[in-house]
């Protein structure tokens, strides 16, 4: 971790509880619907050595530029309507179903 500048004092913060919408990109069968939902574009690439080995992903326009959602990622619609991909381990550590939180 980088050292803190002289005079700066880090403080502890907690995320405010907010509800988001999210969908898990876990099936190639739903990828067109998911891409449409987030304004993304389905992409694919086959291995040159084995044209039957195809990798699919969704390019998602985000506030930071285009980001890729790979199979297994979650796609989140944030509090301001922005979309972005989230790795499954980060999603599991950060979110729970809204019904469970009440």
Q: Which pLDDT score, from 0 to 100, does residue 68 have?
A: 98
DSSP letter for each residue of 63-79:
TTEEEEEETT-EEEE-T
Question: How many Cβ atoms from other residues are within 10 Å of residue 25's Cβ?
Answer: 24
Name the maximum alpha-carbon separation found in the chain: 58
pLDDT of the residue at 101: 55
Residues recorded for the chain: 102
Question: In the chain, what are the domain boundaries?
Answer: 21-101
- For every one of its 102 residues, what pLDDT tens digit does the chain have, with 9 covering 90 and above? 677 677 789 999 888 888 999 999 999 899 999 999 999 999 999 989 888 889 999 999 999 999 999 999 999 999 999 999 999 999 999 999 988 655
Contacts of residues 55-58 at CB distance under 8 Å and 24 or more positions apart, as own/partner, are 56/28, 56/31, 58/25, 58/31, 58/34, 58/85
State the burial class of residue 58 (Cβ atoms within 10 Å of its Cβ: 0-12, 13-18, 19+).
Answer: buried
pTM given for the model: 0.80
Whole-number pLDDT of residue 22: 98
């Amino acid at each position: 971790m980088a050292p803190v500048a002289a005079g700066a004092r880090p403080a502890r913060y907690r995320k405010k509880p907010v509800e988001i919408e999210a969908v898990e990109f876990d099936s190639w069968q739903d990828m067109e619907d998911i891409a449409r939902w987030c304004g993304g574009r389905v992409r694919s690439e086959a291995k040159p050595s084995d044209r039957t080995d195809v990798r699919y992903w969704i390019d998602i326009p985000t506030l930071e530029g285009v980001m890729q959602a790979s199979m297994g990622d979650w796609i989140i619609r944030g509090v301001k309507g922005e979309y972005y991909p989230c790795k499954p381990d980060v999603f599991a550590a950060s979110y729970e179903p809204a019904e469970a939180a009440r």
